Structure 1
């Protein structure tokens, strides 16, 4: 609620305004009377123009009074009239450059704690800077990435961790007649346990002390109670399965890659994403018995390609 001093000042201002209006009306009447005696009404038009200019000057003085009060920390309250609360306008008013401009949306500034009220935020301007390399303007504008935008994952053989390992020992699984349990040296400082369903295809003596290609980033899984930590790679048909042969000169821990598909393998494949299941159909032994992915050979750099002993045009798994 307005204080008594503010209301008193408003009343005083209203009285002054009424006096000015009364004087203007009197001048208008005098002008009309004088204009009546002038031929063609030329003097009446001139006097009307002068009267309009006088009205603008009064409006300007009123707005400047408000600015002076605001600058000195006086809270402004809209003046009542017959139409309701109306704020004075600054239309056609020329204000001193040292004073802040008043617009129709902020003609009655309100102060709080002797500070001018916040003005409406202006829209951000686009900022340009010179591109020194081309001389063309370069737009500096922050771009927000779309939330939850799906990112397409690379799906190729580079995600599979193929390495050369040595089967140091192999024995039959104690609880499964079709499975071998092998101990494999992959050059990691400790051996991994690998369970393979090769009993029907590879004699036990040929499982001992041999090099093979292993996929090392499958998630470890139990097979009939024994945790398998890798998979030996084989050329396979329903009737025959052969362990793939590493190239001559291969060493324990050598990495097997496909040159046309560079990249780092996953640390561990996520079973939910079905990476191995998606890539397996593209792993095959070609007509020349060379292990390949989408027609490109699996190889140990500088040593040669991985091959199958006898099978060709078959699946690798």
Structure 2
């Protein structure tokens, strides 16, 4: 910091050096002002008193201009605090969605039997083995997309902890997860990896995440918290047909869940 004083006084506080072009003003300056051995606080106080004396003797107050600069070695953060906060929130949201998705009871299933719904032209009714004592009855709107004979004995992926729904007189206890293109003209069930068996858990993430998977949420909680509604818009297949939740892979202990033909597709 430097100070320039009207009357010809220039002060460099760091070196306690003085340039004086006005001899009358010089006579009022204390001797300590010219000595670098004095403590800074005393020097500043002495300069202040001297300026007051000079002002009275010269009948005017000196005009002082100060120049302040930031320390040259001051560190500047490359990322602002608001940006850091936004990034932190994005990571938190992403992790929360993954945790929510892994509370869904998604399992490998095998269609034991399928037939046309008697009261709905667009629906199939399927008996699906998902590793329980009895097959589940599930209704699927796949009539216009998948030939009935291709469903018989097919391995599928089932969302199992939804509340049962009455679909034209048939209670549907789950949902087959399917890939569909943007126009919804092509729809096909997701395919579990080879080696999977009915009842195998499906999750999102790495292989190591299997050991930390929580127990599936009960159907009432899934409905109340709208878990499926939060997760479903983020499900897709990538450009190789692998199913994903954002960048988290959809997998079983045997490998990755895929779509046979639909790439960069929605999952519902």
Q: SS where residue 257 of structure 1 aligns?
A: strand
Q: Deviations over 1:59-98 (max 9, x none)?
A: xxxxxxxxxxxxxxxxxxxxxxxxxxxxxxxxxxxxxxxx
2:195 to 246, 249, 257: 249
**Partners of 2:222 and 2:228 within 8 A in 1:** no
More strand by share: 2
Residue equivalent to 2:246: 294
More RCO (CA 8 Å, sep 6+): 2
**Partners of 2:104 and 2:222 within 8 A in 1:** no
1:158 to 93, 102, 110: 102
**Partners of 1:196 and 1:231 within 8 A in 2:** yes
Which residues of 2 match residues 299-314 of structure 1 at below 5 A? 299-301=251-253, 303-314=254-265
**Partners of 1:286 and 1:295 within 8 A in 2:** no
Q: SS where residue 159 of structure 1 aligns?
A: coil
Q: Deviations over 1:3-31 (max 9, x none)?
A: xxxxxxxxxxxxxxxxxxxxxxxxxxxxx
1:235 to 179, 192, 198: 179
Does residue 277 of the first structure (1) align with residue 221 of the second (2)?
no
CA distance in 2, matches of 1:198, 1:279: 22
Residue equivalent to 1:212: 156
The structure having more radius of gyration, on CA atoms, is 1
Which residues of 2 match residues 21-32 of structure 1 at below 5 A? none
Runs of at least 5 residues in structure 2 that lack an aligned partner in the other structure: 1-92
Q: Deviations over 1:248-287 (max 9, x none)?
A: 1111111111135743321224423221111101111111
Which residues of 2 match residues 186-197 of structure 1 at below 5 A? 186-197=130-141
TM-score by length of 1: 0.50
Runs of at least 5 residues in structure 1 that lack an aligned partner in the other structure: 1-151
